[in-house]
């Protein structure tokens, strides 16, 4: 409202610039804030925005990744991905299996554990901390531990066989066999991940007003009904959000697979990201790898769109 | 009066009933929780056991507690895994990334929370959209850029730090901005009335009061960088610049059969994280939960 009380309101750019107070205000409210913002913004633009745009262009070329020979090939790479490259379909299928695993196993485990933990008063903090430990470990360490534990001759399986007097029932190379490789990696990744999900659910459960539980009690609800009608609706926003995040992450999965099997044996645990990595960095198919990156991003964007649409329709996330 | 009396009697009855029910059912709760705790801890316990066994003993007793403790594995792994160099590198990556992230992110968040210059909304939209772009969309062109810059003589370590800073920029801005918005402006106005300039307002009022936000960002970013594997593997090719993760990856590859050595190496890597985690449990857990929900 200061503007109204001022006698002469500078209008043209020239007048504004010659007005001392306006200049000072402009400096304080526009220039300096943008100077504060710009370093991080510039770094981000150079690291993410520009390469992302380049990635789209690169996916339309046959560039090998070295040298100057770049030919524009249109959608050839995408055609090859979806219609010629059989390994891509297999990898995509593995991503879907991965997603099915991670949308069920860690969620059930975390939900169950958080419900158990929410009722515990004494020692609750201790459980919480210990169960969270695997989440803070580096993937290189986690995978090393489990590679040893799943070793067919010296791991848990062999010990179990020994104990039960069996031979080669549990002591098999879970990571080395095509039928069990992917699911074993998912199991290991989940060992690391589920505690994190549990903590999120627990925090959400603890923020449910206790009055609601008392009301349920008075209405004669049993524990299952309490869980079903008070706890679950209370943590639904967090659950749905994590459903979205986990669904997205399923298409980005890389570390554990690359570290444990590199996609093997014979492509049994290959996912899009490991394939992309090999194409771009080992096989001199940068253009083709970039196209796979774009496809992954489209899948991720698609999942976000589904959730945004559901949210718009009143499905509160 | 009677109504109140009735309610309170009903309450105590309910409570007593609940108390009985609780104590009975908590046995089940604790059983489940102990089993899950064992699931989380036993692999780590086996790792710790194996790190102080000889390879010979691991051959006969791969899972149980050690019969004799051999501490030699640690200096041996430290030597062969080149941990003196790679630990130093990792510390550089972590400290530099946290420092850059907190300084640059703090400045940007402050400007966005308090000054709201024209274009702020557009910028927030940019970071919102950018935070959904997967690394896989830009890793190949980024690799090319970084190689070009490396050939021009730019230090690869600096470039990796910039990639880390950019990667966590959206999270940092969202988190710090929300912490700053929650801060009542009266405090800042009072400081201004007392003659503080903008810089003093930021360093004397805003920063001390939003410390928890900075601690959260620092922990989330620092842990992420310490554990990070893929970007370091892709962008750092000089073994003298490896962080512990990629160096350990090659180390495990080389000493595949030597479990005592690789287990000791793994313990060396997780030791600093565990110490920090045990010291700052609450901040770690709540910070990571917050970071996870807000990304």
The per-residue pLDDT for range A162-192, each reduced to its tens digit, is 888 877 777 788 888 999 999 999 999 999 9
Q: Tell me if A63 is assigned to some domain.
A: no
pLDDT-based confidence at B177, cuts 50/70/90? very high
In this prediction, what percent of chain A has a pLDDT beyond 90? 56
Question: Is the distance from CB of B52 to CB of B71 less than 8 angstroms?
Answer: yes
Q: Tell me if A291 is assigned to some domain.
A: yes
Distances, alpha carbon B166 to alpha carbons A84, A289, B288, in Å: 36, 22, 18
For chain B, the structural domain boundaries read: 2-47, 82-254
Q: Name the residue range of residue A26's domain.
A: 8-58
Reading the block at residue A266, the tokens are: 């014979």
- A61 secondary structure, DSSP code: B
Chain B residues whose CB is inside 8 A of the A256 CB are none
Nearest to B285 among A29, A128, A146 (CB): A128
Reading the block at residue B25, the tokens are: 């059912």
Task: Say if residue B13's pLDDT is above 50.
Answer: no
Q: Tell me if A69 is assigned to some domain.
A: no
Residues A201 and A293 in one domain: yes
- What's the full length of chain A, in residues? 317
In this prediction, residues B160-175 reach a mean pLDDT of: 94
B2–chain A nearest CA distance, Å: 19
Phi, psi angle pair for A166, to nearest 5°: -105, 170
Burial of A281 (0-12, 13-18, 19+ CB in 10 A): middle
Higher-confidence residue: A107 or B26?
A107
Grouping H, G, I as helix, E, B as strand and the rest as coil, residue A207 is coil
CA B17 from chain center: how many Å? Answer: 43
Q: Could B138 and A58 be called an inter-chain contact, meaning their C-beta atoms sit closer than 8 Å?
A: no
Question: Is the distance from CB of A146 to CB of A233 less than 8 angstroms?
Answer: no
Number of domains into which chain A is organized:
2
Residues A14 and A163 in one domain: no
Q: Could A138 and B130 be called an inter-chain contact, meaning their C-beta atoms sit closer than 8 Å?
A: no
Per-residue pLDDT tens digits for A80-136: 989 988 899 999 999 999 999 999 999 999 999 999 999 888 888 899 999 999 999
In this prediction, residues B123-140 reach a mean pLDDT of: 92
Matching residue, tokens 């890597």: B269
In this prediction, residues A35-47 reach a mean pLDDT of: 95
Q: Could A139 and B227 be called an inter-chain contact, meaning their C-beta atoms sit closer than 8 Å?
A: yes
Residues A281 and A212 in one domain: yes
Q: How far apart are CA A119 and CA B19, in angstroms?
A: 12
- What's the full length of chain B, in residues? 295
Q: Does B292 touch chain A (CB under 8 A)?
A: yes
Phi, psi angle pair for A72, to nearest 5°: -75, 125
Q: What angle do CA B142, B148, B154 make, to 5 degrees?
A: 100
Task: Say if residue A79's pLDDT is above 80.
Answer: yes
Output the CA torsion B228→B233→B234→B240 (10° steps). Answer: 110
DSSP A212-277: HHHHHHHTT--HHHHIIIIIHHHHHHHHHHHHHHHHHHHHH--HHHHHHTTT-STTTT--HHHHHH
Mean per-residue pLDDT of chain B: 87
Q: Could A140 and B143 be called an inter-chain contact, meaning their C-beta atoms sit closer than 8 Å?
A: no
Does the B82-254 domain belong in CATH 3.40.50.720? no
Q: In a mutagenesis test of the B interface, which of A25, A26, A115, A148 is the best target, namely the one with the most B β-carbons within 10 Å?
A: A148
Per-residue pLDDT tens digits for A101-112: 999 999 999 999
Residues A34 and A83 in one domain: no
Residues A20 and A127 in one domain: no
Q: Tell me if A220 is assigned to some domain.
A: yes
Q: Which residue(s) pair with A61 in the sheet?
A: A72
Nearest to A33 among B111, B244, B263 (CB): B111
pLDDT-based confidence at B9, cuts 50/70/90? very low
Residues A104 and A208 in one domain: yes
**So what's the ipTM on this one?**
0.89
Q: How far apart are CA B65 and CA B63, in angstroms?
A: 7
Q: Tell me if A293 is assigned to some domain.
A: yes
Q: 3-state DSSP helix/strand/coil percent for chain A, to nearest 5? A: 75, 0, 25
Per-residue pLDDT tens digits for B153-164: 999 999 999 999
Chain B residues whose CB is inside 8 A of the A245 CB are 292, 295
């Amino acid at each position: 409202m200061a503007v109204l009380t001022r006698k002469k309101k500078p209008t043209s750019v020239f007048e504004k610039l010659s007005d001392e107070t306006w200049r000072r205000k402009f400096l304080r409210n526009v220039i300096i804030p943008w100077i504060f913002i710009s370093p991080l913004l510039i770094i981000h633009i150079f690291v993410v925005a520009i390469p992302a745009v380049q990635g789209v262009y690169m996916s339309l070329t046959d560039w090998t990744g070295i040298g100057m020979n770049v030919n524009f090939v249109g959608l050839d790479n995408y055609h090859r991905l979806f219609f010629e490259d059989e390994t891509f379909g297999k990898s995509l299928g593995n991503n879907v299996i991965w997603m099915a695993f991670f949308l069920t196993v860690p969620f059930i485990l975390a939900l169950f554990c958080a419900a158990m933990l929410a009722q515990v008063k004494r020692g609750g903090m201790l459980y919480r901390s210990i169960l969270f430990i695997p989440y803070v470990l580096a993937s290189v360490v986690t995978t090393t531990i489990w590679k040893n534990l799943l070793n067919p001759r010296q791991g848990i399986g062999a010990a179990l066989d020994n104990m039960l007097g069996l031979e080669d029932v549990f002591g098999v190379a879970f990571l080395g066999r095509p039928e069990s490789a992917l699911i074993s990696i998912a199991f290991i990744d989940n060992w690391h991940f589920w505690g994190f999900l549990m903590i999120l659910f627990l925090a959400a459960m603890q923020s449910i007003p206790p009055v609601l539980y008392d009301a349920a009690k008075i209405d004669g609800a049993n524990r299952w009904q309490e869980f079903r009608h008070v706890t679950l609706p209370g943590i639904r926003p967090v659950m749905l959000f994590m459903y979205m995040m986990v669904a997205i992450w399923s298409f980005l999965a890389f570390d554990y697979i690359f570290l444990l099997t590199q996609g093997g044996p014979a492509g049994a645990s290959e996912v899009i990201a490991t394939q992309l990595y090999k194409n771009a960095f080992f096989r001199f198919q940068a253009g083709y790898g970039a196209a796979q990156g774009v496809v992954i991003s489209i899948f991720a964007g698609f999942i976000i769109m589904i959730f945004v649409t559901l949210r718009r329709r009143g499905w509160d996330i | 009066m009677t109504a109140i009396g009735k309610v309170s009697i009903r309450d105590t009855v309910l409570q007593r009933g609940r108390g009985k029910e609780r104590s009975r059912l908590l046995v089940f709760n604790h059983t489940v929780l102990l089993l899950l705790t064992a699931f989380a801890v036993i692999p780590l316990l086996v790792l710790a056991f194996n790190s102080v066994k000889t390879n010979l003993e691991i051959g006969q007793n791969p899972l149980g507690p050690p019969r004799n403790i051999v501490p030699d594995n640690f200096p041996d792994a430290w030597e062969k895994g080149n941990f003196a160099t790679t630990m130093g590198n990792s510390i550089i990556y972590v400290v530099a990334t946290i420092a850059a992230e907190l300084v640059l992110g703090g400045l940007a968040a402050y400007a966005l929370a308090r000054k709201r210059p024209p274009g702020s909304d557009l910028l927030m939209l940019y970071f919102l959209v950018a935070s959904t772009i997967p690394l896989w969309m830009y890793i190949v062109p980024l690799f090319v850029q970084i190689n070009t810059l490396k050939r021009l003589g730019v230090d690869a370590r600096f470039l990796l730090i910039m990639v880390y800073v950019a990667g966590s920029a959206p999270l940092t801005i969202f988190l710090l901005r929300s912490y700053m918005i929650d801060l009542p402006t009266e405090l800042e106005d009072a400081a201004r009335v007392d003659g503080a300039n903008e810089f003093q307002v930021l360093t004397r009022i805003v920063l001390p009061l939003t410390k928890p936000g900075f601690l959260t960002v620092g922990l989330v970013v620092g842990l992420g960088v310490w554990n990070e594997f893929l970007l370091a593997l892709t962008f750092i090719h000089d073994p003298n610049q490896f962080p512990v993760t990629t160096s350990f990856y090659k180390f495990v590859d080389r000493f595949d059969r030597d479990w005592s050595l690789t287990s000791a190496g793994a313990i060396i890597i997780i030791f600093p994280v565990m110490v920090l985690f045990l010291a700052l449990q609450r901040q770690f857990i709540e910070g990571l939960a917050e970071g996870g929900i807000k990304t």
